[in-house]
Amino acid sequence: MNLTQLINPVTMNNQGISARSGVHTSVLLLLVAAAALTRQYWKDSQMEFWLSSVLIVAAGIPHGALDHFVARHNRKKFDLTVYIFFYVVCAALYLTLWWFAPGIAFLIFLLITAWHFGETDFSCFADKKGAGLYSFVYGTAITMWLLMQDKPLLFRWTTLITGDNQTALSAVSRLAVVPVYTWFLLLCLILFLVGENRREYLRVKIPFLLFVLCLGQTSLLMGFILYFTGWHSVNALLHIKGSVFRDVEGKLMLEKALPATLSATSFLIVMGFMSNGAWLDRFGLPALFILLSILTVPHMIEMHRLYTHRSESTRSTGRKTTQAE
């Protein structure tokens, strides 16, 4: 087993991407269990902020730092200047929505997070056939499970981010009525319904569900960050490796992500020093959250194009194989 197989919860085959290795999931389970057992030492402290920052720099930022390479792969004709213009315009439009309608912008962010988590991560458990609705339900369940662990803190964050906007607060209030374990049970049901090999539960799905269950025993911030960096970002990087950098070593792919990663990291460091680590103050969290959200929209669009392009290529290859036979 090579290094890619060791950390990769998915491998490429003729049917697309499916779960084949539980090593990555088991490693994550151990890390999250350790975080849950020691949370009294780091929860609600600056250590939580710095640990989250390290994880974002190590995995979260790099998976978005390759967007321009993904865009080049998705298009027959690619112009970097035009792409940057599109990226900035898309982010600016969403920023404008945050300015004039923060409640609606916040709800849109929740929807696109659920969609993006589902589209990227659900393919670990099922191929694309009939997975559209399942993937969105998966993304919704995992997003709500992570966010609803600490409802008072979620209300506080929502108030800070949206400026005490009643639209967002009302929506969160309605969502909070649903018992939090309902989302976990829905996740279990979705994973049970997909996949042809039931033994896969023992190897990948049960460890994954235990990993998700343990996330709820950490904190709202750390649970979300551990899922985002440990599961979602790693999956996205490996999808990019399998499609865009198929003939390139993983090390070289990460080197190509380095300039944008260092730039974003420098910005986070400056922001941290300027606020003395007080990122949950009146202005720190909204600024950081809105910055990340406006970058999420163009990133999600490019990844959606990647998955669409890959699905079309897979179907085309399948038709050619059938015709040859």
The pLDDT of residue 131: 64
CA distance 1 to 22: 13
In a domain, 123, yes or no: yes
Domain count, the chain: 1
Say which residues have a Cβ less than 8 Å from residue 117's Cβ, sequence separation at least 6.
Answer: 138, 139, 142, 143, 232
Domain containing residue 131: 17-315
For residue 283, pLDDT beyond 80: no
In a domain, 191, yes or no: yes
Please give the share of the chain, as a percent, with pLDDT higher than 90.
36
In a domain, 144, yes or no: yes
The pLDDT of residue 9: 39
Q: Are 144 and 128 in contact (CB under 8 A)?
A: no
Distances (CA, A) of 179 to 99, 186, 196, 212, 220: 32, 11, 30, 16, 16
Of 323 and 84, the structure prediction assigns the larger pLDDT to 84
The overall average pLDDT reported for the chain is: 81
The backbone torsions φ and ψ at residue 219, rounded to the nearest 5 degrees and listed phi first, read -155, 170
In a domain, 152, yes or no: yes
For residue 245, pLDDT beyond 80: yes
The reported pTM is 0.85
Q: What is the DSSP string of 16-52?
A: EEEE---HHHHHHHHHHHHHHHTHHHHTTSHHHHHHH
In a domain, 7, yes or no: no
Q: Are 254 and 240 in contact (CB under 8 A)?
A: no
Q: Please, how many CA atoms are within 13 Å of residue 17, restricted to the half-sphere of its CB?
A: 22
In a domain, 10, yes or no: no
The stretch 204-213 carries a mean pLDDT of 91
Structural element, H or E, at residue 13: strand 10-13
Among 17-21, 71-75, 157-161, 310-314, the range of highest mean pLDDT: 71-75
CA distance 50 to 278: 11
